[in-house]
Chain A
Amino acid sequence: MVTVSMKINGKNYSGEAEPRTLLVHFIRDTLRLKGTHIGCDTGHCGACTILWNGEPVKSCQILAVQAEGADLTTVEGLEPEEGKYSIEQESFREHFAMQCGYCTPGFLMMTRYLIRNNPEMTREEIREKLHGNYCMCTGYQQIVDAVQDAQKKFLISKK
């Protein structure tokens, strides 16, 4: 067992983990944050996407011990305050960008990052940036609508 200390959704955390524990299992099973999901074994599907210092990573592709000192954000950390919704969350709902919802947290984390770092993406660019996140239900079109909308809303909020 190794001690792991990190920040998750703004809160400090310190605890023990086996070195072999995947970060996604640490998040789901030790921290009991169930919003980050597992969809494959090989780092392809992106259902486990979280933000590490604001940048998206696949948490199944990281050992918990590697995240020592990191500043992590999961889907549970998106809401601006209790009962309210972030721009990303609202846009996804308004555009029917989810069906079973299993991939959605991963896409939401990507959206949070993309709209802040890639202003004014075209639909094609959005699709390109999202090719590490699989959705089996929606066919992606409404997700792209949602990201475009979130992009607009974010730019407006910055003015």
Chain B
Amino acid sequence: MESQEQVIAHSESSTGTKNVGKAVLRFEDLKIIKGIRGYTDDIEFADQHYAALLSSPYAHAKIIKIDVSKASQVPGVLLILTGKEIKSLTNPMSSRAATKSPTSHYILAVDKVRYMGEPVALVVAKSKYIAADAVGLIEAEYEPLPVVSNIEDALKKDAPLIYPELGSNELIYDHFEFGDVPKAFKEADKIVKQRIKIQRYASTPLETWNVNAYFDRTREELTVYASDQQPGRTVQSVERTIKIPSSKIRLIVPPVGGGFGNKLAIWQYVALIGLASKLCGKPVKWVQTRMENLYAFHRPRGFMDAEFAMRKDGKILGVKLSDWQADGNWPYVAALYSLIKFANMSGVYEIRNLSFEYRSVATNDPPIVQDRGVGKPFMSFVLERMMDIAAEELQIDKIAIRQKNLIPTEKMPYTTASGEVYESGNYPETLRRALKLSDYYSKREEQEKLRKEGRYIGIGLAEGIEPGTSNLGYYFLSKADQPDYNGAGQMSTVEIAQDGVVKVNMNGPEIGTGHVTTIAQVVSDVFGLEPSEIVVDASFDSTLGHLTYAGTYSNAFNDVYLGAVMKASERLKSKVISIASSVLNEPKESLFLKDGYICKNVQKPQKLLSFKELAKISYGRLLSFPKNEEPGLKVVAAYINPTAKPFVRSDFNVQLTHSNSVHVCYVEVIPENWSIKILDYSIVHDAGKVINPSIVEGMAIGSTVSGIGGAMYEEFVFDEQETNLSLTFGDYLKPTAMEAPELRIEQMESPAPNTVFGTKAVGEGGAITSLAAVAGAIEDALKPFNVRITELPVTPEKIWNWVKDSKEFKKINGEAR
């Protein structure tokens, strides 16, 4: 078993890294611009049938009766499923969640609905339109139950219980403490306290959830195409629920139209549609509507009570956080967000005394999912707001207070108080560069000038840690049972096909983040080819080797996927050289790969054997094949990030690579309507080594704009009956090209010592650090009004509510309101 150090040595010494750091134009784009990308909905089976869902209009209700008699009469309807059939045919969805698993959650609602939009019935019909017609004719009768719509009410003594079998709406309570927190708070010159809230919001990939399943009755095999970000685990979940052995399931993930974590929860529907196909004997396709997508699977809302023990010079002595999260009624990810938040609670700062307690609370909020950042956006928001608030209360400059607490680069790699290992990073330098890039001090001068003219101008700065590659299983630190899987790894396949072409199957879903091109770049260097000559398969296929939790999420691509691809490539290359050496009777050390040939004599390359010829020998001419080698030129390799620690409560890491950035946001608030204009926005970010700078820059921009959406526009609004009022893009407001500002970006590189190329997490970054930069800027603009911003989104109407009783407001508006 090759060690990770050896992999790095191979890539550097023997092949060079000619294509690393190059902005190679994306190969994925060639299909996209022709409209032939091949998303899940583009695939049609012969005799394709379609599924439609009936969704619950109530957030909490008993299902009294579902009458499908009229619906089944509609010509073209093949099958209707309700909770009754589901209960007898399937197992409940297993919980990898709460300490005591609620067992009453099935792939369709059984007996009870717990959120508005919960699927209650499924229709399969010849066309999408007929299926929708039939759904319209299903008569469902409900008995509404008292609704639990907020955390405080959920925890009251006689609160209605979301899961009666649990006896409480508190799914999990836990508390971690490190260092000497009481001492820190005793020695503090000032305790800064604040409650900070976050709204329910979500990345909304433009492609909704799509599943197309075909159960072949002769082979007793289920083939499913789905836009799924964690297909490895889906296969297991499908087996567990609809009882088809995983060895008889083939799950294929075509290119996905955006993931962002939202598509990690699709497995319930893969099971449901798979079952539907099995029962009706036809291929069944389900295309989620946008309204269905907006019903559920968002980031949770909640609040944190933060207490910072401060020395009067700005040094943070200790931090206490109390986190309350409305995890809805999908316990499968309870604790997941909380523990990631906790692992990041000291951010880029040296804080050794930490206390974190959290509550995962069940309410009739809809289910949550691991959406972009999974708690880090909120944690970073809290941390950076507290830095600004502490600066204000201590009368210290906002930059100075950060500089005082940043982890110095000499201490890298740095282990936080809880055991999270920051492998590299230069936080003071990132800050220095950001101040320069944004022309921060000139902006402060300009702000002074413009303030005197009566304009409301503000600057916000935030420093964020942006980790990736989850050490899976960490969320079980709070739970009684053991996780199905843990660690961080992936498995990929590299081969020289029989036509001599180098083929890579990363075997991780392609969600749009440039995997194909990035892999082509690094693999081309191994084999001495051009990136355009490497064939990279951009889909996941469960029949190929994969680890249990294979998928594209938590920014793991730059770490374990690249690792697996490189490991397989280097092994294949070794094998090629070894076979060629025997066949050609040349010493291994004299051979190298160039332009599709095994060559010798580096100064004046001599082509000895083509890849195609070698493939012919390795796959077919076995009498000419060296006796000590294995025929074929295909390698499957799994790569593990070696820094993943087994979990103990006193010392654990949740994520394994740590990028970081500084965002500087410059805004004006217009008092006529309190709207916010972003005048300027600069980012310096460090994602370690960058393989394709244009791809990485694109993700920094995109993630930041999605963060701006969360900071200023996006919120799922519920009434007291937990009716979701934000079910179209007219009500749930996404930033368009007009709301997105121009971003100025500079990249710096602190290579990670624990990944093959030194690459780190890319993809969540901007969504994490932008929230506090934007909120801080707006708060700064509103300084004359004495507003403290402790919630999101910051909207013009909210600002009006905050300022309208202030002296400054009365001054500019006369006495009239």
A contact residues vs B (CB 8 Å cutoff): 18, 20-21, 25, 28, 33-42, 44-45, 47, 74-76, 78-79, 85, 89, 92-94, 96, 98-105, 108, 123, 126-128, 130-144
Contacts and interface: CB of A to CB of B under 8 A. Distances in A.
Contacts, number: 179
Contacts of B766: 139
A127 B728 CA distance: 22
A130 B702 contact: no
Contacts of B255: 100-101
A104 B33 contact: yes
Interface of B: 23, 25-26, 28-39, 41-42, 128-129, 203-208, 255-260, 287, 289-291, 511-514, 694-695, 697-699, 701-706, 728-730, 734, 736-738, 740, 742-743, 766
Given A39-B206, A100-B256, A101-B28, A128 B738 contact: yes
Contact of B512 (A100, A105, A108, A127): A100
B678 to A, nearest CB: 13
22 contacts: A21-B129, A34-B42, A35-B35, A40-B290, A41-B289, A41-B290, A78-B33, A94-B25, A98-B512, A100-B206, A100-B257, A101-B32, A104-B33, A127-B737, A131-B736, A134-B206, A135-B206, A136-B204, A138-B702, A139-B740, A140-B740, A141-B740
A1 B233 CA distance: 44
Contact of A85 (B33, B39, B203): B33
Nearest to B30: A93
B698 A138 contact: yes
A41 B256 CA distance: 19
A102 B25 contact: no
A44 B702 CA distance: 19
Given A100-B512, A142-B701, A41 B291 contact: yes
B695 A89 contact: no
Contact of A33 (B33, B35, B740): B35
A85 B30 CA distance: 9
A85 to B, nearest CB: 7
Nearest to A79: B34
Most chain A CB within 10 A, of B25, B35, B129, B207, is at: B35
A36 B701 CA distance: 25
Nearest to B695: A96
B346 to A, nearest CB: 29
A92 B35 CA distance: 13
A50 to B, nearest CB: 11
Contact of A141 (B259, B701, B703): B701
Contacts of B728: 40-42, 44
A116 B258 CA distance: 30
Most chain A CB within 10 A, of B287, B705, B743, is at: B705
Given A37-B257, A89-B34, A100 B701 contact: no
Nearest to B37: A101
Contacts of A128: 737-738
A18 B729 contact: no
Given A99-B514, A101-B29, A128-B738, A139 B258 contact: no
B291 A96 contact: no
A101 B738 CA distance: 20
A37 B743 CA distance: 28
Contacts of A44: 728-730
A20 B287 CA distance: 18
B258 to A, nearest CB: 4
Nearest to A20: B129
Given A40-B728, A44-B730, A126-B737, A99 B513 contact: yes
Nearest to A18: B129
B290 A143 contact: no
Contacts of A75: 33-35
B275 to A, nearest CB: 25
Contact of B737 (A99, A101, A143): A143
A28 B40 CA distance: 13
A100 B511 CA distance: 6
Contacts of A40: 290, 728-729
B221 to A, nearest CB: 26
B452 to A, nearest CB: 28
Contacts of B28: 98, 101
Given A100-B206, A101-B255, A93 B33 contact: yes
B701 A92 contact: no
Contacts of B41: 28, 34, 38
A83 B679 CA distance: 43
Contacts of A45: 206, 290, 729
Most chain B CB within 10 A, of A21, A126, A131, is at: A131
B388 to A, nearest CB: 25
Nearest to A104: B32
A137 B738 contact: no
Most chain A CB within 10 A, of B33, B128, B513, B699, is at: B33
A18 B128 CA distance: 13
B593 to A, nearest CB: 29
Given A33-B35, A42-B729, A100-B207, 7 more contacts: A38-B287, A89-B33, A100-B259, A105-B35, A137-B206, A137-B512, A140-B737
A134 B740 contact: no
